[in-house]
Amino acid sequence: MITIDNGYVEYEYKKSHIKQDMFDLYSDNIKSFGWSITSVNPKNKEHVELQLRRNRNMPNRDELIRLESKFNSIVTEIKKMKNKEVIPALISASLVGIIGSMFMAISVFFHTLYGLIPSLLISVPGFIGWGSIYFVYTKINNSISTQLDPEIYKNMDILYETCKRAHKLLNSKDA
């Protein structure tokens, strides 16, 4: 860190709210932009608040800020891609469960109107719908995941390259 003649260091502070599953990525790479983590405060099961600080008078500060912005946009893009894996699978599994529940409801009406045998025949698709929710979710999630994984890995490579450039700038001797 660059210090003024009297040893005084001017710091800038920042709070960053991140998901728990992104904590390792942030804590490993945020140092490349000159930030040090002063505290970690869990907000709930899924989110953490990082309190950060860095020297305001560091060399190449403008370029580091630009690279940090690029880092944040890539992380946001990766989050969006991971949501693309979960949401269609969740919707499909929910629809299968709702259809299974509809068959079960019809089965109850058939029992009161037509007796046990028609009711049991109508309830079979309901039980199949309820039992297949997990398998539908897993199959769709895995198929979308295999399609998106190369793109996620490509973005991770860009992210790490950005962090390497920032680290090199931060540690360069010529300011």
Angle at 49 between CA 43 and CA 53, to 5 degrees: 155
Q: How far is CA 5 from CA 14, 122, 173, in A?
A: 26, 84, 19
The rounded distance, in Å, linking the Cα atoms of 167 and 59 is 12
| Predicted confidence (pLDDT) per residue in 130-151, tens digit | 999 999 999 999 999 999 999 9
pLDDT greater than 50 at residue 175: no
| Predicted confidence (pLDDT) per residue in 61-86, tens digit | 889 899 999 999 999 998 888 888 88
Q: Which ranges constitute the DSSP H helices of 9-132?
A: 23-29, 61-114, 116-131
DSSP tag of 21 = G
